[in-house]
Structure 1
Amino acid sequence: MAESSVIYLLEKLADIFENDDHLLGVLFRGVREEGVYLRGEFERMRAFLRTADALQETDQEVEVWVKQVRDVAHEAEDILDEFTLLHKHDHGRGIYGSLRTLGCCIKNAKACYRIASELKAINSRIKNISEVHKRLRHKFIKAEQGPGSDSVGNTWQDRRGDALLLDVSDLVGLDEPKKQLVGWLFKSSPGRKVVSLAGMGGMGKSTLAKQVYDDPEVKKHFKVCAWITVNRSFKSGEILKDMAQQLFKAIRRRVPQVVANMDNDQLKTTIKELLQQRRYLIVLDDVWHLCEWHAIQNALPNNSCGSRIMLTTRNSEVASTTRVLSDGKTYQLKPLPPPESWELFCRKAFRHNKCPPHLEDICKDILKKCEGLPLAIVAISGVLATKDTRRIDEWDMVSRSLGAEIEGNDKLSYLKKVLSLSFSDLPYFLKSCFLYLSIFPEGHLIQRMRLIRLWVAEGFIEAKEGRTLEEVADDYLHELLNRSLMQVATTTPDGRVKTCRIHDLLREIIISKSRDQNFTTIVKEKSVPAQWSDKIRRLSIHNRLQSVQPNRSVSQLRSLFMFGASRKPSITALFPSGFRLLNVLDLHSAPLKRFPVEVVDLYFLKYLSLRETKVKTVPRFIGKLQNLETLDLKHSYVSELPDEILKLQRLRHLLVYQHEFVSYEQFNSKNGFKVTPKIGVLRALQKLCFIEVNQDGGTIIRELGKLTQLRRLGLLKLRKADGKALCSSIAKLSNLRALSIASVKEDETIDLQHLYSPPSLLQRLYMRGRLDALPHWIPSLPSLVRLSLKWSRLKDDPLISLRHIPNLVQLELCQVFVGDRLCFKADGFRKLKILSLEKFDELRCIDVEMGAMECLEKLSIQRCKRLENVPSGIEHLHKLKFLEFSDMPVDLMKTIRPDGKDNWRVSHVPEVYSTYWREGGWEVYSIDSMTDGEYCPLPSNLFSHELQTRWKSWK
């Protein structure tokens, strides 16, 4: 973690002290000289910081040194930012500009000398830290040569071995996964296959693998078996020697003495010769990285004997890669379901007895935080087993302070170690990103794009040539997901991560690490202000502002978040001394009615979110925030931005819109914002949603063509006359991934026939308004995965052209066609998974030819009042899982009830529903509940999540 702080500081030093302004150099010579020295010292220490970050887990002396380096780096960064504030104004060029610059410098001379003095003091401390560094160098060098067999490592291996020796009575929930894995091992296939077990630490991967490995039928089936523990201290030579020795013993041959002196190539050759003619099972337990697999795989022959390799890993990339390369299988371990979690908990906490009734609620609360993680359940219930069941307060204390319990209870040290190992294995740039998740409250679903923009604003993302910072950040996110440190909560139909979350116990670990490293300070309802650091850098306030101690100095604060504030957050009242160095201000959903004037002096502010507040206007001083990259006003009441927005040349994401859903028949369901016609000067913009272009539309639309970095663009209130200009601008937006267009009114035509070079990377297209004809370029979009056409009223069947879009996954059609018949041809829509057909007023018949939409999983048919029968051929859609009819004729619905004539057509679909819009809400019925023409409505908590969330999604 100290490495990321130092790298960020070195980048800042480079920006400031490589300035060629001679006048600046003369006046601030003292600052420059001290900065140059500071830079040199940190560059020398940086080479060892990555090793030191890893060593500090087990060496207290190194831990102290790392903390000193981190603290000094933070203080130096603050001083440099104060220095930047002294001369941030542009005074123009020429002699008059120079004179004005000189006047400003003289005015700030006193502050400049103070900064030079502070830097000098920093450098004095650096000298002392450097002396300690010289004394610790031998530890760093030894660590870089490879992990040794210290006592901590041995203890870890011993405890890991204990986990493989669990009694069968201590195991629950393994019967079904064991049966499936054994089946995969036995499945007749002559080639060598890899079966991977993937999941987060503590999920029971090794325990399950050992149960399979020790199964008598498995031992009987495979002639040679070996169990190889890989782990983080991977050394290929030691692993290969261990494997060779086990294999010689397995075939009942004495291990040759020469094995001890063989190099890696000789060991691989020996192992390959031993296994070449034998059906073998090799378990590679605890594989962390692909390089470990690559170092071993060539020793394991593909001998066409039905051999198998079983591999356990926390890294899903390792599992998926080995599966693809060997045409194998991956078993993703899932948390224990509640009944089995409760059984395991009671078995351990109450020694096979039942939970006393007076402790049931507390125990279930504790168990909820374990989230089905077997190791956590066993460890925490083991701690509770020592508690007096008559002392409810002791049990309640564990429930309320589980994080502190994990931190301080020796009986939970193994659990903490298991959960912390994945963090320790992260590269430095991912450690910052992972610790950052501590800002979010428990159980909070983290929006992917929100997190990515925050990471970018914090400076965590390293620039890579040819890629945007957001694209690199997306890679970081997927790396954390692959390492099982985050979990996907929801996805879009085309497979993109929409929201993610973090396991509650992992969250407790990173909160502890964040606190120790002064990375983030969390303030909750029962927080003790005295626990705050004197130099808070990130502050996340959860629920109640009353927990914040007033008049607290936070002058070095870099990020401020408020989650669930119960009253208006007066920043001035809470922090009267201010925080001029703030980078991030996230007031999402705060009870605000006015734009916070406190931001006017936040020169370094990069991220400002007032999403879902009641703010109506944006003041003109917004133009002073010249470093702003994200302005999120989504679902606020803002409808117009001042011209000063054009001064924000670094703005990358501009989100200003809100949904106004009154009924599902409403055409204008979004409100955007009015913007100055000169929007084209904001060349850094990547996301711009949603502009109302009905005022001076021609000029605005032509300006859009200058925004060549745009990834997502949303336009409202478009007129037919704007068509040619819009096509011209879109053709220039080669980076565009998502385009949303809506006409000014329902019967206004959208004219997009003049687009001859559409963006080849376009993935999502939403069009709302009349079309004279389907734009000729839509079927040729190679990357298009989602298409939404509404109120088009085409005279020709659009399916004829749309069926050949190669990668289309989701298709939404509403009032698109005025004909009476739709036919899905056998050669069409090969990758389509989701189809919605809504309000085809003349539609009487739908035909689905065999072979059409062979991947379709969800089908929704809504408000087609003249449709006489269910789609003919729907029985061919073998992958269909969800079928919904909304506001459809009762006579049609009777045909698919259990005794209806067409029930056989839909009997293969697991979920079939009928929904009706009644008095501003949905009533949902299961087809299976319909008898004698009557429906039994389903309680809202029983019907599919798809129905509950459909109208909340962006269409």
Structure 2
Amino acid sequence: MYADVQMFMGKLQQLINCNDNELINNQSILCERPQFHLLYEELGSMIQTLFNHEDQDLHNFEEMKKLKKRFKAAAEEAEYIVDIFLSAVHCRNNRYSPISNVFQPYLHLEVVMRSIDSIKMEFMTMRMDNMKMDASQRTDRLQMQSSGTSRSRNSIGSNKVKEEMVVGFDRDAEIIRDKLAEDGKHLDVVSIVGMGGIGKSTLANKVFTDPFVVYHFHIRGWVTVSQTYDKRDLLIQVLSSIDDGLELEEATNSQLHQILHRSLYFAWHAKLHGLIHHLQHLTEEESWKLLCEKVFKGDECPKWLIKPGKQITKNCHGLPLSVVVMAGVLAKEPRHKDVWLKISYSVHSYMASDKKGCLETIALSYHHLPLHLRDCFLYLGGFPEDYKIHSPWLLWVWMAEGFIQEDGNQSLEEIAKGYLVDLVDRNLVIVQKRYLSGDIRRCKVHDLVRQLSVEKGKEERFFLKIEPPSIGLCDIIRKQINKLRNQNKVITTSKRRRVVTNQEIDIMSLSHPPTPSIRSLLCYPKKTTLTDNITEFIHFFSLRRVLNLEKFFRSFALLRVLHLDKSKLIGFPPGLGLLVHLRHLEIWLQSFPQSICNLWNLQTLFVSTSSSSMVLPSNISNLVNLRHLTCNADFYLPSIEKPMKLEVTTKVVLGDGVDNFQKCFPRIKRLTSTLYSGEENDFEVLHYLQVLMLIGPGYSRRNHIRFPATLKELTLVRCGLLWSDMSIIQSLPNLEILILKDNCFEGTLWETGEEPFQQLKFLCLEEFNIKKWESSSINFPCLKELQEQDDVGNYELEIIIDGRKMPSCVPKCED
């Protein structure tokens, strides 16, 4: 919920402390440093106060939610004011800018600071009221809550579980039961994980009430822990479930701890790491059985209803709660074929719009998401149905949007990967394809989960989603904006900052009349491209029409994400250099202009070109936040003013004025480099490098290559190395993936010798010129997969391991 606030605070830190960037260190900004510093301290204090407090006795939960929303709105307003100020300063200082007066360079933070003070005072008042509460009254209140909650959860809740039809869990229950009861010195811990509504509680109850489990365990307890809970209530629930004869209402918290400790002392013998059981969706047969049991209560389904009924269960995608919801609908309808056919045709849209049914149940997954994952999940609602999401792109955009919280020494990309994996583990995202490293390459979202994301996104005012319009697009946007303005009397910029559409829209219409500044414009047209619209977009930023540019710039000045790779540009439009808040830019260029280095907030920059190489300007190091720089051609770097914080770059060629990669990119983690004859190739000094691709000219080379011990993945293409150099690669202690392509070594015989690849798990041989490969089993102690592919097909690779000829594995190898 406050990851974007953290990113804003990072920007404030740069404005306060960055003394070596001329784009930041101008007089207008320096004069405002005291205000930036005060705002930074206030935001940090409020984050500690509202989000990191551990006062479990604070019972004003709804009031706290309101305060957090108000704080987020105030922080967004502050960021809006600061960003408008920075745009104004940049426009006035930019020699190419004819629109210096579109914004005024004033920093008016008084209203925001008063709002933050008001939130702080209300929070302190709540705490004081809570502390003043009489101890006995508080105990009575908590006891009433505990006893009431315990009774409702243990009686009503348990009965509800018992009433449910348990279908398709027999094998799951057997696995868990056997794991819990297997003989051994230590007891087992089993975690059941899966999407909300998939039946975790039902399965847990099936195991809990299993006769064998009842017989095997002399102490059993059932407790439900919600997202917000009271410690005392939880203790009473556990103890009451174990022994309902205990008198607990008068016990102190310390006494409750002691009773629980005595009751569960056998838990000292539990294993630290247990089984994680991933609950799968129902099969179509299991779904059909569950539907019939719910609708017909043991009677047989009429033959004329079997076909439409099975189509309905198929559309439920194996989610038990979806099946149960549709069964409830069918049970109330006449058992006529036409009725069921009609429902089968509209089951998806019906379930998506039934807020009291399936979506509300699936929403359990959303409500149990940690705060830092919610924006990431809501972002998925912007994609069309069945959209194949390129995972790295998704991570980059999440970072640009400010969803990723900084955490220790991990890079933002690694943290973002963890967020995506977390959503996958929660069955909210489906993995379609992986890289050789195991990272997610492509993913998608289940239709029902996507619909949940869309509904929640609308509730949270997360984006403005433009559906097929029945009236003019301008009228739609105008009405939405007016509605937002009317709902915000104190804070004026709490608005949908993202515009999402699956339609072929006119981008220019978004700026007439000028709308509140748009942070993201996400377009996913189904068939046509946005080339014409992007051309018009570029036309305005080429500064040919100054009067219209003023109106246009006001709407798009705060853009963070921009894709312009659909339009081939001869030159870089000077007006784009005014978009100083861009964090993610994809663009087609014939040459790399110096003005692009004014975009000091850029984190990711992807350049496409028809040229074979592109010269980087020496002021490229002004991009102090740049982490990813890639191109489909070689980047030539003749000189550089200072080291950069790049973590990923492709095909960089160092000029005569640059000593080595370490001085340019000391933090580089992924690097693609072109090899040339007569060069020293020392990558050993790159202490963070994990992924390296070397592309050679295709002929014999005699240069020595040194690799860092941190290397995990190495790809060699047309390098012309000697097989004797392989011993250097074999000695790398952390190498897990080795990809050898297109005659990267000279000679037709590869003898691996006696030295092992210590950690190598994946080996790919593609378009190889060797005919014989002699190896030993000691060479690959950790190898899990070998792929060999020959597109030419003019030879057969002979593999000999420990003197025995082995069959060759020939699946397609992918990058």
Query: Which TM-score applies when normalising by structure 2?
Result: 0.77
Distance 2:745 2:755 in 1: 18
Report sequence identity in percent: 23
1:466-506 per-position Cα deviation (integer Å, ceiling 9, x unaligned): 44333333344444445555444433334333334444433
In structure 2, relative to structure 1, the CA distance for the partners of 1:809 and 1:446 (3 Å cut) is same
Conserved in 1, the CA contact under 8 Å of 2:672 and 2:694? yes
Cα distance change on mapping 1:344 and 1:679 into 2, 3 Å:
farther
Offset from partner CA, 1:671-705 (integer Å, 9 cap, x none): x33534336856222111134x5xx8776784575
Q: 1:677 aligns with which of 619, 638, 654?
A: 638
Change (3 A) 1:350 1:599: farther
Counterparts of 2:376 and 2:603, CA distance in 1: 18
Aligned residue in 2 for 1:687: 648
Q: Per the alignment, in what secondary structure is the counterpart of residue 636 of structure 2?
A: coil
Distance 2:302 2:701 in 1: 66
Following the alignment from structure 1 to structure 2, what is the Cα–Cα distance between the partners of residues 543 and 6?
Answer: 31
* Residue in structure 2 matched with residue 338 of structure 1 by the alignment: 284
Residue of structure 2 in register with 1:419 after alignment = 365
Contact 1:782 1:806 in 2 (8 A): yes
Q: Distance in 2 between matches of 1:264 and 1:152?
A: 17
Amino acid at match of 1:536: R
1:537 to 492, 497, 507: 497
Distance in 1 (alpha carbons) for counterparts of 2:660 and 2:14: 35
- Residue in structure 2 matching 1:744, options 694, 697, 700: 697
* 1:421 CA drift (Å): 2.8
Residues 690 and 844 from structure 1, CA distance in 2 versus in 1: closer, same or farther, beyond 3 angstroms?
closer
User: For residues 304-342 of structure 1, what are the alpha-carbon distances to aligned partners after superposition, in whole Å with 9 as ceiling and x for unaligned?
Assistant: xxxxx8xxxxxxxxxxxx6xx25x433211122334334
Q: What's the offset of the Cα at 1:438? A: 3.1
Q: Confirm or deny: 8 A CA contact 1:182 1:218 kept in the other structure.
A: yes
Q: Deviations over 1:759-782 (max 9, x none)?
A: 111011111222223324211111
Distance 1:267 1:701, change over 3 A: same
* Distance in 1 (alpha carbons) for counterparts of 2:243 and 2:64: 43
Q: What amino acid sits opposite 2:669 in the alignment?
A: R
Q: Deviations over 1:155-178 (max 9, x none)?
A: 7887753552134xx232112222
Pair 1:626-2:576 in alignment: no
Quick one: which of 668, 687, 691 aligns to 1:710? 668
Q: Is the 8 A contact 1:810 1:833 kept in 2?
A: yes
Specify whether residues 687 and 157 from structure 1 end up closer, same or farther in structure 2 by C-alpha distance, changes over 3 A only. Answer: farther
Q: How many residues align?
A: 754
CA displacement at 1:379 relative to structure 2: 2.8
- How far off its partner does 1:41 sit? 6.5
Q: Check the 8 A contact 1:419/1:509 in 2, yes or no.
A: no
* 2:761 corresponding residue in structure 1: 809
The residue number in structure 2 matching 1:165 is 162
1:85-234 equivalence runs, <5 A: 85-88=87-90, 111-112=104-105, 115-116=107-108, 119-122=109-112, 149=145, 160-167=157-164, 170-233=165-228
Counterpart secondary structure, 1:376 = helix
Which of 310, 325, 328 aligns to 1:379? It is 325
CA shift for structure 1 position 360: 6.8
When structure 1 is superposed on structure 2, of 558-567 and 578-587 the one drifting more is 578-587
Is the alpha carbon distance of 1:494 and 1:362 closer, same or farther for their aligned partners in structure 2, counting shifts above 3 Å?
same
Report SS of the residue matched to 2:348.
helix
Q: What residue in structure 1 maps to residue 704 of structure 2?
A: 753
For residues 590-643 of structure 1, the C-alpha deviation after alignment (integer angstroms, 9 at most, x for no partner) is 754448846332111111135xxx776666643332322211246x65644354
Distance 1:510 1:162, change over 3 A: farther
Structure 2 equivalent of residue 601 of structure 1 = 578
- Partner of residue 567 from structure 1, selected from 512, 518, 529: 529
How far did 1:805 drift? 0.9
Structure 1's unaligned 5+ residue stretches are 93-99, 273-297, 303-308, 310-321, 658-671, 851-870, 875-882, 886-946
Does residue 720 in structure 1 map to residue 677 in structure 2? yes
Question: One-letter code of the match for 1:774?
Answer: S
Deviation string, structure 1 residues 191-218 (Cα, Å, up to 9, x no partner): 3222332222222122112222322233
**What is the TM-score normalised by the length of structure 1?**
0.67
1:511-590 mapped onto 2 (5 Å cutoff): 511-525=454-468, 529=476, 532-533=480-481, 534=484, 535-545=495-505, 550=510, 551=512, 553-564=514-525, 566-569=528-531, 570-571=533-534, 577-578=552-553, 579-587=555-563
Q: Distance in 1 between matches of 2:563 and 2:411?
A: 26
Contact 2:754 2:778 in 1 (8 A): no
Q: Flag the 1:6–1:767 CA change in 2: closer, same or farther, 3 A.
A: closer
CA RMSD in angstroms comes to: 4.9
- Structure 2, unaligned runs of 5 or more: 485-494, 541-550
- Is 1:785 matched up with 2:736? yes
Q: In 2, distance between residues paired with 1:629 and 1:228?
A: 46
Q: 1:203 to 1:521 in 2, by over 3 A?
A: same
* Pair 639,493 (structure 1): closer, same or farther in 2 beyond 3 Å: same
Residue 654 of structure 1 corresponds to 629
Q: How far does the alpha carbon of each residue in 1:540-574 deviate from its partner, in whole angstroms, 9 at most, with x for none? A: 32253379965364442112222246232525868
Asked if the contact 1:767/1:788 (under 8 Å) is kept, the reply is yes
Whole-Å separation in 2 of the counterparts to 1:24 and 1:744: 44
Q: For the residues of structure 1 that align with 2:302 and 2:435, how far apart are their CA atoms?
A: 41
Q: Identify the match of residue 712 of structure 2 among 763, 779, 798.
A: 763
CA contact (8 A) 1:445 1:501 kept: yes
Distance 1:25 1:494, change over 3 A: closer
The Cα shift of 1:655 comes to 1.7
Query: 2:182 and 2:800 mapped to 1: Cα distance?
Result: 40
CA distance, structure 1, for counterparts of residue 607 and residue 150 of structure 2: 51
- Given candidates 258, 271, 276, the residue that maps to 1:266 is 258
Which residue in the other structure is 2:416 paired with? Answer: 473
**1:292 corresponding residue in structure 2:** none
Q: In 2, are the aligned partners of 1:679 and 1:703 still within 8 Å (CA)? A: no
Task: Give a deviation string over 1:361-402, Cα, whole Å, max 9, x none.
Answer: 89858854x442222332344245445675677776663364
Which residues of 2 match residues 244-255 of structure 1 at below 5 A?
A: 244=239, 246-247=241-242, 255=246
Q: Which moved more, 1:795-804 or 1:557-566?
A: 795-804
